[in-house]
Structures are given as C-alpha cells and as structure tokens.
Amino acid sequence: MLEQRVSVIGAGAMGEALIRSLLGRDLVSAETLMAADVRRSKLDEIRQRFGIGVTADNREAARFGQVLILAVKPQQIEGVLRQIGPDLTTGHLVISIAAGVRLRFLESHLPEGVPVVRVMPNVACLVGEAASGFSLGRWAGDPEAERARRILGAVGQVFLLPEPLLDAVTGLSGSGPAFLGLVIDALADGGVACGLPRDVAVKLAAQTCLGAARLVLEAGIHPAVLRDMVTSPGGTSAAGLQVLEERALRAALAGAVRAATRRSQELSAGGSEEEPANGRLS
C-alpha cells in the first residue's frame, strides 16, 4: 500500500478508472484517497460508489494529497496548476495525464523543486489493460519514478522513457486502439462474408487479438514466432498472409504509427488544444 495520500483531480473516465484500480489493488484505502471535480453530480456518484472523500475545490484536494494525479483535459491544465500551485511543496508529487502537455509547461506553473511526472496512457486503462509511457521532470528521481510506476501499474503496463519518446508512445499505444478497432472490424467483416453471425464474428475477432497479445506478453513468444506457429506450408494462414503482404498491411500499420507520432509532435510543439489519442478520456 502507498504510504502517501492521493488526490485525483478530474473524475472523468480516466480519473474514475484510476480510483477504481487504486482501491481494487489495495494501493490506497478509501481514507487516503480523494477525488476533485467541478461536477457535483459526479462527485456524489464517486462518493457513493467508492466511499472516498470528494471536493469541488482543487486547493482542498492539493492540501489533502501528497500525490496529485491531474486527470483533466489539456485546455484545463493551466487553470488547475495555478489553483494548486500555492499549496504545493517539494514533498508533493504531481502526475499529469493531460495529453500533449510537456514537462516544461507543467513545471513552469508550479513552485521550483516540485517533482512532476508526465504520463501518456491509453483508452485500455478503462479495463485495467493500459499501455503507458511516463517521463520524469527535473526534480523527480528514483523514489518518484517508483511511486508513479506503482500507481500507473494499477491500470496496466507502464514504461519509463525520455520525454521526446512520449510522442512515439502516443503514435503507437495511444492511437493503437483506433488502429486495432479497424483491424477487429475488418476481421469480423471477413467472418460475416463467410457466413458467421455478426455478433459472433466480432467476439471471435476481438478474442483472437486478445489471445495473440497474451501469447506475446505472458508466454514471451515473439510475434514472428507466433506467426510461424500457426502457418503451415500451403495452409489457410499462409493463404491469408499472402493477401496481407500483397496489400501491404505491415507497411500501412507502421506508417500509421509514424503519421500519428508526427501529428503528436506537431500538436505539442504548436501548443494546440486539440487532444491526441486519450484526450476524450479526461
């Protein structure tokens, strides 16, 4: 269990997923967790569902928590930082999941010496299967990295990376669910064309992707080895793979990740309020 009290500022889908996972994994108790949000109805719902403290005052949340998780939209982040800044000390840890908001910006709106961590999660955090990257600010060291890893690990896998690589995380795991949604839909279309009921085809396609991912992650099977495991000479998989290679699926997916990464870089550099990949989760 974490020794520090935690405040989650922003109780939208992402904030609620973190609250649920932190409690469910016994990383915090209800007495050491608080949620802040401007929506009174949402706070009432959170209090009834999880039995934790709630507030509409971000400064109250900052005074309560030693770890502050900022789960608000990028266009709201500056206002939140200005509100909580006067109450923060070097003993706090600020974890931001605001898409595209860089460490330099976060630190410039907080007192000097406050440790900051920037995170790029993805939509699968809603089911505890996120693929997240995080980077450390100037005043965050090994203890803060370990604390962030434990918190973010409650909703999936997490990787410590230099901040410039978070754009690639956005392009791959942030945008990846959209790409895989297209893949699942296309596989299901193929199944329907071959006579399967639509609902069965969708579930078969989704479960097939899930099973393949678990073989890679849990059994440690390399994707190329997985391909060879189910591909016999002249067999069904070989016939299907030939079509995918002829139609350049591999190049298309790799190109999609590169394009999404470039767009993330453009949005971060330009200070756009458009939200890449995970923005609608806040």
In the annotated binding site for NADP(+), the residues are 9-14, 71-74
Known binding-site residues for NADPH equal: 58
Q: How far apart are CA 247 and CA 236, in angstroms?
A: 17
What is the rounded radius of gyration, in angstroms, for the C-alpha atoms of the chain? 21
Question: Do residues 171 and 264 make contact, with C-beta atoms less than 8 angstroms apart?
Answer: yes
Number of Cβ within 10 Å of residue 167's Cβ equals 24
Angle between helices 176-193 and 198-217 (to 10 degrees): 130
SS3 of 260, please? helix
Known binding-site residues equal: 9-14, 58, 71-74
DSSP collapsed to 3 states, 79-104: HHHHHHHHHCCCCCEEEECCCCCCHH
Q: How far apart are CA 86 and CA 59, in angstroms?
A: 9
